[in-house]
Structure formats: structure tokens, C-alpha cells
Structure 1
Amino acid sequence: MLPPKALFDTLSTHASRLLGGETPLPPRELEAQLKALLQSAFSKLDLVSREEFDSQMAVLARTRARLEALEAKVVELETRLGKQPPAPPAA
């Protein structure tokens, strides 16, 4: 993966060539080439889709809820056994 500065420098150079060429491109051709250029640049980044991100956020929320339930259960069991529960972790 290219460092962000190098990626944007490359992107800028290619865009300048497309937009500042001696022979202007037809709008559809320019759009197609810009789209290909952007897709190439974005494919070099470690990006995830919004769907993937939302899915992982849901997994994290369920995991967090399960962890809290298990922590409460441990405290309850320790109380039943007469042990002093540990101090809650600082958030």
C-alpha cells in the first residue's frame, strides 16, 4: 500500500493529465477515466464498505452486551460465595 501522500500525489498527477491535456476528452470518456483512476486509488487503501462496518459494529455491540452480562454473573456468583467482588474496571 502506498503512503497517503504518495497516493494522492499520484492521483493528482493523473487527474492533471486527464484535465489539462492538449486534446480535451469528451465528457463521457473523461468521466470513465476519472472513475477508473479513483477506483484504482481507493483499491490501494485499506477501506471497508459501510455494510461491513455496520456489521462489525453490531457484532461489537453484541459482544459488549455479552461481556457485561458475564461480568454481572461473576459478581453475583462471587457474592453468593462470600467473596469480595473486584472493583469495576475504569472506562
Structure 2
Amino acid sequence: MNTTQTRIFDELAKLMTNAAGAAQGMRREFDTLVQTQMERVLNNMDLVKREEFEAAKAMAQKAREENDALAARIAALEARLGIAPKADSTTG
């Protein structure tokens, strides 16, 4: 190979390296833009975060267990007093 062809290949290699670097930079910029837009959309949808959901779920479970325990205590007290239990309004 002569010097001219070697220089052409060197320049072509530099051009390809620069193009690859530019493509990677554009890819990162695009990913950042998409992530930013998705976060904005999700924030506008007023969605609850997983941690908040799990905390509310745990509180509801605890309240349900406490309610069941209190209902059992009331039923036991009514039984001791000879009071007929009231009909459950949730069973229709």
C-alpha cells in the first residue's frame, strides 16, 4: 500500500470512530430524554409509589385484623349477656 491509501484508511478509521462516539452520545441523550418524558407522564398520572402502596396495604391488613378481633370480643360479650347479635349489614 502506498502512503496515500494508508492516510485515506487512517482518516476513514478516525471518521468511523468519531461517528461511533457521536452515535453513543446521541443514544445517551435520547435515553435521558425518554426517561425524563416517562417520569413526567407517570407523575402526571398521579400514580402511587410501590412503597406507599405497601404501607397502605399493611395498615389496611392491620385494621382488618383489629376489626375482626373486636367483632369477636363483641360477639363474646353479647353471648355472655344473652343479647342476640345484630344482623350483618354487609351480607345483604
* Structure 1 CA distance for aligned equivalents of residues 83 and 28 of structure 2: 73
> Once the two structures are aligned, what percentage of the paired residues are identical?
31
Shift of 1:35: 0.8
Residue 57 (structure 1) aligned with residue 52 (structure 2) = no
Map Cα deviations across residues 25-70 of structure 1 (whole Å, 9 max, x no partner): 8101101111111111111012111111111111000000000000
Gaps of 5+ in 2: 1-22
Equivalent residue letter for 1:63: A
More helix by share: 2
Pick 1 or 2: higher relative contact order, CA cutoff 8 A, min separation 6. Answer: 1
**How does 1:11-90 map onto structure 2 within 5 Å?**
26-88=26-88, 89-90=90-91
Runs of 4+ in 1 over 6 A off after TM superposition: none
Provide the alpha-carbon RMSD of the alignment.
2.0
* Structure 2 CA distance for aligned equivalents of residues 40 and 87 of structure 1: 50
Shift of 1:86: 2.1
Aligned residues: 68
Q: TM-score, normalised by structure 1?
A: 0.67
Shift of 1:85: 1.2
